[in-house]
């Protein structure tokens, strides 16, 4: 009898664990976990690519090969490609400026981050209107931005800045009330274990290092990359995800992307990812939140070879945010800091301009979802978002007269940032109204304008 009671008790405790949102098993079980609401409500985040590649901070502008030839964070890999005919410009640049005997590891002597002010960075992110931040804790080069015991003498505390860059930043960002987490590259180009013993690399280096990072900083986001080289089985992905989803300090808030193996994109994770508009999300993908990541320029890491015309304007970035959010996604907009620890001024300016727009129009972005109510516009520059109380019509081009179609009839219409009430006509299946008249001096914002249609 005691044995039966013991079995029943164990069964009950196991059921309680599952019912509290914790998970065990393969992806089928893990995918049942609901994505925490904060992520889908946030809509706008900041990506940060920062590492040793920020010292040379150079790449070609061409991305014609479709695999990051214009990404400065790939500098080391480009120097060591078997065929110099693929990207000879990198070798030519390196030899000219650093000499043929200068090794990539030697860049540690120039990576000082002496002007890095995490409180200023966090203030910029807060003013930009972003709700979360993702830092490259370790890119494909393997250089860690925290004092990792698994990367001795190849981390920002042992060499270079001699500082816990990841720890200092996450503290400042969270003090501003923002969520923060880490990008982490599963693979490393030149790690000896990765090249010679993948199983040992995963079990004795990668998995313990991930756990070290999470235990130290308790992130809200874990954003793996470099997954394409192996399957999720080789990476022990479900083991890691199961551990994250059951971790007592992060299980309630943490979200993960879909980059867990060359067979997982658009299939598994808290959210799916696209990059500069390219991704694996299609009509066959299970329904999940999704996120577009891209830079303000064409590179993720800072690229000194980019000029003004290579950077998106604030207007273009706001329009991207509007388009992505109206389609149910988040925008993770990247900045590439300099080796001395500055956010390039042009990037800071873009973030401030986005923030100024969101001060006026944030209610049409945060906490909204893709439109479900029956209402539409034939204009391609008109976008919709929706929450429980309102439908938001976002114009990326100003119209004097607006005509919408659908059965929905609003209780009232107003332009965000303006106190002027807007009269409208509901005629059959159409809603017709005129935009308010403004001068350049009193128009509430630039780049895009939002009409709130109260339910």
CATH class entry, domain 41-364: alpha beta
Q: Could you give the CA distance from residue 205 to residue 161 in angstroms, rounded to a whole number?
A: 23
Cα 54 to chain center, whole Å?
Answer: 19
pLDDT score, position 284: 77
Kindly state the percentage of the chain with pLDDT values over 70.
92
pLDDT number for residue 278: 86
pLDDT value at position 18? Answer: 37
Domain ranges in the chain with CATH number 2.60.40.1180: 382-454
- As a whole number of angstroms, the distance between CA 173 and CA 423 comes to 43
Reported as a single tens digit per residue, the pLDDT across 149-182 is 999 999 999 999 999 999 999 999 999 999 999 9
Place of tokens 């204009």: 379
What is the arithmetic mean of pLDDT over 236-244?
A: 98
**Residue 113 backbone phi and psi in degrees, to 5:** 50, 35
Q: What is the pLDDT of residues 21-32, one digit of tens each?
A: 344 459 999 999
- How would CATH label the architecture of 382-454? Sandwich (2.60)
Residue 130: pLDDT over 80: yes
Q: Report how far residue 153's alpha carbon sits from residue 451's, in angstroms, rounded to the nearest whole number.
A: 55
Q: What pLDDT is stored for residue 340 in this prediction?
A: 98
Domain with CATH 3.20.20.80 in the chain: 41-364
Q: Per residue in 353-398, pLDDT tens?
A: 999 999 999 999 999 999 999 999 999 999 999 999 999 999 999 9
Residue 141: is its pLDDT beyond 90?
A: yes
């Amino acid at each position: 009898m005691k044995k039966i009671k013991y079995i029943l008790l164990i069964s009950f405790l196991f059921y309680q664990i599952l019912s509290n949102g914790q998970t065990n098993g393969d992806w089928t079980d893990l995918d049942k976990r609901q994505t925490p609401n904060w992520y889908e409500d946030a809509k706008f985040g900041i990506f940060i690519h920062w590492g040793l590649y920020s010292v040379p901070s150079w790449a070609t502008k061409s991305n014609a090969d479709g695999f990051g030839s214009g990404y400065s964070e790939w500098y080391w890999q480009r120097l060591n490609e078997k065929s110099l005919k693929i990207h000879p410009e990198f070798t030519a640049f390196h030899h000219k400026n650093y000499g043929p005997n200068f090794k990539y590891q030697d860049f540690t002597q120039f990576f000082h981050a002496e002007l890095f002010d995490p409180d200023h960075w966090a203030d910029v992110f807060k003013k930009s209107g972003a709700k979360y931040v993702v830092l490259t804790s370790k890119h494909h080069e393997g250089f860690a931005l925290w004092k990792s015991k698994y990367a001795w003498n190849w981390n920002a505390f042992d060499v270079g800045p001699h500082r816990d860059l990841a720890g200092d930043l996450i503290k400042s960002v969270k003090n501003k009330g923002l969520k923060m987490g880490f990008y982490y590259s599963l693979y490393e180009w030149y790690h000896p274990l990765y090249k010679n013993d993948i199983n040992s690399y995963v079990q004795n280096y990668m998995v313990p290092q991930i756990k070290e990072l999470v235990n130290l900083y308790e992130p809200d986001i874990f954003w793996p990359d470099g997954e394409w080289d192996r399957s999720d089985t080789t990476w022990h992905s479900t083991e890691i995800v199961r551990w994250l989803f059951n971790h007592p300090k992060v299980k309630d808030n943490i979200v993960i992307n879909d980059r867990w193996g060359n067979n997982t994109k658009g299939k598994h994770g808290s959210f799916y990812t696209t990059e500069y508009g390219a991704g694996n999300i299609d009509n066959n993908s299970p329904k999940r939140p999704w996120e577009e990541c891209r830079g303000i320029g064409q590179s993720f890491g800072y690229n000194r070879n980019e000029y003004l015309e290579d950077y998106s304007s604030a207007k273009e970035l706001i329009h991207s945010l509007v388009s992505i959010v109206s389609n149910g996604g988040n925008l993770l907009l990247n900045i590439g800091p300099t080796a001395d620890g500055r956010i390039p001024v042009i990037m800071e300016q873009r973030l401030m301009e986005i923030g100024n727009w969101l001060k006026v129009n944030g209610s049409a972005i945060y906490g909204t979802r893709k439109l479900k109510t029956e209402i539409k516009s034939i204009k391609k520059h008109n976008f919709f978002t929706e929450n429980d109380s309102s439908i938001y019509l976002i114009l990326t081009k100003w119209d004097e007269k607006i005509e919408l179609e659908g059965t929905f009839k609003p209780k009232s219409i107003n332009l965000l940032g303006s106190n002027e009430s807007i009269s409208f006509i509901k005629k059959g299946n159409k809603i017709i109204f005129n935009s308010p008249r403004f001068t350049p001096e009193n128009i509430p914002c630039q780049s895009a304008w939002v009409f709130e249609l109260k339910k």
